[in-house]
Amino acid sequence: MALNSLTAFAQAQAEAEAPTRVEITGSRIRQVDLETAQPVQKITAQQIQATGLITVGDILNQMTSAGTPAFSKGAVLTSNREQGGQYIDMRNLGANRLLVLVNGKRWTQSVDGYTDMSTVPASMIERIDILKDGASSIYGSDAIAGVVNIILKKRLEGAAISVYKGINEKGDGKSEDYSLSYGANGEKASMMFGISHSKTEPVWANKRDITSQSFGTGDFFGANFGAGPWGRITPITAVGASNTDPKTGGFNKFLNHTGSFDGSGVGADARNPANYHDYADANADKYNSSQQMMFQAPTKLTSIFTKGTIELPMDLRFTTTAMYAERSSTRQIAGHPINSTVQPNYRVFIDKDSYFNPYGNQVAGAGKGQDLYFARRTVEQPRITDNNNQTLHIDATLEGEFTLRGLPWSWSAGYNHNSIKGENLSTGNINLLNLKKALGPSFMNAAGQVQCGSAVNPTPFSQCTPFNILGGPSVSNPEAWKYIMSNGQGTYGSTVNSITADVSGELFTLPAGAVGVAGGIEKRDVRGYDRPGQFEQSGYSTDLAAKTTQGRYSVKELYLEANIPLLKDKPFAKLLSIDLASRYSDYDNVGSTTNSKASFMWKPVNDFLARGTWAEGFRAPALGDTFGGGGQSFDSYLDPCDSKFGMAARDPAVALRCKNTGVPAGYRQLNQSGKAVTAAGAQSTVAFNTGVGNNTLTPETAKTKTLGFVYSPSYVPGFTASLDWFKIDVKKQISGWEAADVIGNCVIDSLTKYCGDVVRDATGAVVGLSRGRINKGELSTEGFDIGLNYRLPRTSYGNFAVRTESTVLRSFKEKKSDLAKWQEYAGEFTYSRLKSNVSLDWMMGNWSSTLTLRYMSGVKDLCLDTEIQCSNPDAPGVSYKNGAYNKLGSTTYTDLNVAYKTSWNGQISVGANNLFDRAPRLMYAATSQGVGISSSSAVDPNVPIDRFVYVRYNQSF
């Protein structure tokens, strides 16, 4: 027995001392040394808990290298299937240019190529690796801005539960998170299981003064109020347009009413033409749509996760992971600002024989009535969209080790399945077919009821309900609303299946060490669809019409990587090695591409590491890029031909080109309420045609360069400093034109081939515009990542550590077409010149705490008027179309987390994000007139709205 015990002890000691070879993010070569030539940031499970955040997306979006989140939770006006998920915009290059891995395997993607981070349960994460480098040669498409690799726990012994609750200081935005995990390990097998549920409640725009109006409550009070809830009427021209010109018999009347822009008043008798006044764009006749809108949309997520590993004979291992997540989200916006031409191909007017027409035959006398154009916001029915999304991930891997010529090798073969499916349900839009009947001929029957049809030929109530659309909310008829409402429905989904085989080992040994190599093959099949409901596709609804997207492609790939040690333990070369990699990808729809990478690592002395990379990258078109069916969109833009704020006001050449395209002198762009726009422009008055796929697209290409160092002085134990320069250039950018770009191509850049994509009416107003996907222009960004970490010597007051992470943005510029000039964005909103996170960690006994400062440098904001809140009214260098900006100062948020470990294996932590309750800034560029991340107000919804407090309890068994 003693001999057996001694033998077992010796074997265990040998195993403990044997070096463990692992695969690190950014390389497929398994190795012992974890130092890499690539800059990799690591976020541990402990750091995740200290943030006070509950989803992976929220955690990663606080990185200084991350830009403004794609599909912001405040962009409730945005119509996409990704709404409610969380997506990381690394380096401001777009969330679809970032590759997301879980345990080194590709995670799910939507039809448009976006990966939802929120579906990965935070309770099962061991750490997150962020590779701030191009890696297409290792991982393939999408790894242009970098790679996020979420490393899950390998083993778990026993059970653990976690309960979390948080709330904004004003009592809204409540967040909850519950998780249960369990793990068991045997001699040959291990298993983990986890289930989690999280929920975040909405924050409503009308609950705070600063978010209660689109542009705040100060100088721009009412500047973006929209169509009012009572009827506005005009006659109709011969071509079926609104006629407001008195010279041709036109007028512009609005129903008299009590109340103001809150929609709570009472309208006068809408049948009496004397009860109307001339519409003069008064605030009382408009509506503050922020009253009905969410500032931050709610989400709910439930996920189930399991992972198992079993040791097989012949030193084989089988590992499998499965995860199912169901996410539901809701967004609400104000009632529809409907008018007669909301769908230009199906116009709806108030019939001259309608009982409710104040200029109709039943009021003006038989044969004297006229059809009317109308406009009115349907505040009784806010538009609500529910998005239910299910994500499934399954992977299975068989792996093993072997020895070749006495050198260690490993191999693996696996299958990876990712699928997304979902359903969009919407209410608050109007069935135009039924609305036309409801506004058609009607009469007062003998029972004193208004009925569709005529006394001679009545229409049964079961087939039509008349609607007094001009009377406003105070005379709303529930039966009429039930008749004209349209319930929208759409389904979507995508599936990615891949088969991989990899091998890694040491090829031979040089004086400086072993030459490591890795190679492998992958076959990936991608398919997806987005099917709006048939009624939404028809264009007979006030909902944005869209067509079906459906497509598939497959790709076969081969890669090879080699790590070559050149020098070791030589003067000025304690270590010098290079890493070479190349990947060949053959797509059945866009052809083939080869992308390579070269990096080096040099340690002249033990304390100093220099590193650098040159890498080619690419992004293949997503399914939506190639097969997109297209749809309608109300785009925000400033018309360059606007005679006050457009380029035509300052550039005679632009003014001349506008004139040549039919724009009359003195033309002013109008917003949806008929008012001349501010310097920020406005949303289009008609829906434009957008997002049409293009089967001639080619992959984007990129060049990434990095150069940096890591310094860990031996005379200061626990201290590490790093500095990494990066430069990323993207060409053949896959993008859709913006409305302003399409117009500008014609009248600013004089590219006449685009002039046919813009349709103007006789007044000069843009009444039609088409924009689709195209390979166009270039992107380029350059800057520095700086890291400082210091674990101080132990003191009688506990252990202290300081962590800092900073990103300096030297340049972010875009060239929107081959003939266009570069446009610099660095320093403008969402492109901060400096972002920095500084954390102080403290631990003493059972107590621990983290204090974090999050700093963002000042930015240039949009000017809504060049005479108010506009520090630089004439600044042609900025991207804003009116050539003006308002400089805003820097901001810093302070977060605090305090935790205590109990004697019964529990931990309680409390914290506050935005500890000092720093008020948010008014940021006009955040609105739909700017980058569009906030639909309801001029406040960035991705920063704290006020102090957020939370408590979490963890218990292990």
Q: How far apart are CA 181 and CA 894, in angstroms?
A: 31
Q: How far apart are CA 776 and CA 724, in angstroms?
A: 30
Q: How far apart are CA 720 and CA 712, in angstroms?
A: 4
Residue whose pair of structure tokens reads 């109340």 in the numeric block: 259
According to the per-residue pLDDT averaged within each range, which of 83-92, 125-134, 517-526 is highest? 517-526
Predicted local confidence at residue 14, as pLDDT:
35
Predicted local confidence at residue 17, as pLDDT:
40
Q: Strand, helix or coil at 759?
A: strand
Does residue 656 surpass a pLDDT of 60?
yes
**If you average pLDDT over every residue of the chain, what do you get?**
90
- Strand partners of residue 70: 87
Query: Going by C-beta distance under 8 Å and a sequence separation of 6 or more, which residues neighbour residue 133?
Result: 26, 38, 39, 146, 147, 613, 615, 704, 706, 726
**Measured in whole angstroms, how far is the alpha carbon of residue 265 from the centre of its chain?**
38
**Measured in whole angstroms, how far is the alpha carbon of residue 127 from the centre of its chain?**
23
**Measured in whole angstroms, how far is the alpha carbon of residue 298 from the centre of its chain?**
15
pLDDT category at 34 given cuts 50, 70, 90 is low
Separation in Å, CA 859 to CA 218, 804, 830, 874, 916: 20, 22, 8, 16, 22
- Three-state SS letters, 916-957: CCCCCCCCHHHCCCCCCCCCCCCCCCCCCCCCEEEEEEEEEC
How many other C-beta atoms can be found within 10 angstroms of the C-beta atom of residue 920? 20
Q: How far apart are CA 464 and CA 93, in angstroms?
A: 52
Predicted local confidence at residue 881, as pLDDT:
60
Two tokens, residue 823: 């446009």
Q: How far apart are CA 277 and CA 254, in angstroms?
A: 5
Q: Strand, helix or coil at 446?
A: coil
Tell me if 410 sits within 8 A of 399, measured CB to CB: yes
Q: Strand, helix or coil at 613?
A: strand
Does residue 15 surpass a pLDDT of 70?
no
Two tokens, residue 20: 């463990």
Does residue 876 surpass a pLDDT of 90?
no
Q: Strand, helix or coil at 437?
A: helix
> pLDDT tens-digit profile of 195-241?
999 999 999 999 999 999 988 887 788 888 889 999 999 999 888 88
Tell me if 516 sits within 8 A of 31, measured CB to CB: yes
Helix axes 652-660, 739-747, angle to 10 degrees: 100
Two tokens, residue 381: 């029915």
Amino acid letter, 838: V
Q: State the average pLDDT over residues 849-871.
A: 91
Does residue 931 surpass a pLDDT of 50?
yes
According to the per-residue pLDDT averaged within each range, which of 52-66, 770-784, 796-810, 812-826 is highest? 796-810
Tell me if 203 sits within 8 A of 936, measured CB to CB: no
Separation in Å, CA 833 to CA 414, 812, 836, 878: 43, 10, 10, 14
Two tokens, residue 213: 């109006």
Predicted local confidence at residue 917, as pLDDT:
95
Tell me if 376 sits within 8 A of 398, measured CB to CB: no
Q: What is the dihedral of CA 715, 717, 723, 724, to 10 degrees?
A: 120
Kindly state the DSSP code that residue 868 receives in the 8-state scheme: B
pLDDT category at 684 given cuts 50, 70, 90 is confident
Predicted local confidence at residue 690, as pLDDT:
82
- Per cent of the chain over pLDDT 70 is 97
Predicted local confidence at residue 12, as pLDDT:
36
Predicted local confidence at residue 36, as pLDDT:
67
Does residue 801 surpass a pLDDT of 90?
yes
Predicted local confidence at residue 16, as pLDDT:
37
Two tokens, residue 214: 């689109």
Q: How far apart are CA 323 and CA 307, in angstroms?
A: 9
Two tokens, residue 141: 């498409």
Show the CA angle centred on residue 305, arms to residues 123 and 145, nearest 5°.
70
CA-based nearest residue to 906, from 53, 153, 160: 160
Query: Going by C-beta distance under 8 Å and a sequence separation of 6 or more, which residues neighbour residue 819?
Result: 749, 751
